[in-house]
Structure 1
Amino acid sequence: MITWRRLAHDDLPLLKSWLEQPHVARWWNHETSMEAVLRDFGPSVRGEEPGEDLLVFLDHDPLGLVQRSRLADYPEELEPLKEIVDVPEGAVQIDYLIGDPARVGHGLGTSMIGAILERTWNELPDATCVVVPVSAANIASWRALEKAGMRRVGEGDLEPDNPIDALLHFIYRVDRPGR
């Protein structure tokens, strides 16, 4: 069973170890010093960020991280997306990782995405849709989005998380059920 809670200060060493894993580092390209992890995730842990960092569990064991935010709270991410696709008011964005390399490739990413989508509809009644830009080169990620019921609605150039990647991103979206 997939569950989660907000990331806490005591979780940051675990997150640091996940960010150091080659399969995560390839796509997140995050500085992995403890100072950098505190700098970038500390504001969310302290409730100073509008977005959420959620520690995901599978049967009580840590599995990964989901970041969830309202796009309107991050205009630096919203504006480039709006140049490529229609982004309705109330759009939410997610990002995700599975920390343990032994758990990658078993459908858990799809399950995690499906669970966060369901929870988003329940917890954020004004959320109109979930929009996810993903590097076109990250095939496993966009396939997990598709398997979780999201559809590709566009493609275009966005700044990649990792500078070794091309600018091309696929944009995925799922609308609130019943809309």
Structure 2
Amino acid sequence: MTAYAFRPMSADDLPTIRRWLEAPHVSEWWHDPAEQFEIVSGDLDHPDMAQFIVAADGQEFAYLQCYNLSAWDSGFGSQPDGTRGLDQFIGEASMLGCGHGSAFVRAFADGLLVSGTPRVVTDPDPANTRAIKAYERAGFRRDRVVETPDGPALLMMRDQ
């Protein structure tokens, strides 16, 4: 079984994040790499945003952000106090299609739920069937399509 590690992201990781955002398999869903880089790097010191570099058996391959849902106008409607939102991508193309996405998202969400987070939500593009299937394998259930500041998204959630 693969061991996943979640290391807090630092400014030293920004060149890697830029490279990953520019990869076609990431920009397909995260869109404009320059704009996304500004957002991600700008959130580095935000008190309601935790950003991580994900490693599998010591190899860094993915980005994950976990945020306090109440700090953003997400369009998700009323959620329990303490709900956390997740966004992630696999940056290294060689790690795609191996089951890592669902496995590390499940591991991270399990940790949040065990530590008392009442709900974890995510919001993939409704057309991103690969992400939706990965989130379902990670234990998330489909709720409804919501209108977010970035357009329509499928709200998915896991509860304690």
Letter in 2 for 1:99: G
Letter in 1 for 2:41: G
Quote the offset at 1:168 in angstroms.
Answer: 3.8
Shift, 1:157, TM fit: 3.2
SS in 2 for 1:135: coil
Identity of aligned residues (%): 23
1:169 lines up with 2:153 in the alignment: yes
- CA–CA separation in structure 1 for the residues paired with 2:147 and 2:155: 10
How many angstroms apart in 2 are the aligned matches of 1:44 and 1:156? 23
Deviation at 1:49, TM superposition (A): 3.5
The CA deviation at 1:152 is: 0.7
Residues 106-125 of structure 1 mapped to structure 2, 5 A cutoff: 106-123=98-115, 125=116
Are positions 1:81 and 2:80 aligned together? no
> C-alpha distance in 2, partners of 1:153/1:104?
26
Q: CA deviation at 1:116?
A: 0.9
Match of residue 145, structure 2, among 148, 152, 155: 155
- 1:1-179 alignment, distance < 5 Å: 1-32=3-34, 37=37, 39-45=38-44, 47-74=45-72, 76-77=73-74, 80-82=75-77, 86-123=78-115, 125=116, 127-160=117-150, 167-176=151-160
Verify the 8 A CA contact 1:52 1:67 in the aligned structure 2.
yes
Provide the rounded CA distance (Å) in 2 between the counterparts of 1:158 and 1:50. 19
Contact kept? 1:18, 1:24, Cα under 8 Å:
yes
After superposition, the C-alpha distances for 1:9-42 in whole angstroms (9 at most, x for unaligned) are 1111011100000010011114338xx73x4333
**Taking structure 1 as the reference length, what is the TM-score of the superposition?**
0.80
Q: What is the letter of the counterpart of residue 55 of structure 1?
A: I
8 Å contact 1:43–1:49 — kept in the other structure? Answer: no
User: What letter corresponds to residue 157 of structure 1 in structure 2?
Assistant: E
Task: Please give the root-mean-square deviation of Cα atoms over the aligned residues, in Å.
Answer: 1.9
Given that 1:98 and 1:104 are in contact with CA atoms closer than 8 Å, whether structure 2 keeps it comes out as yes
Residues 67 and 96 in structure 1, CA contact (< 8 A), matched pair in contact too: yes
Structure 1's unaligned 5+ residue stretches are 161-166
1:163 match: none
- Segments of structure 2 that go 5 or more residues without pairing to the other structure are none
Superposed displacement of residue 122, structure 1:
4.1
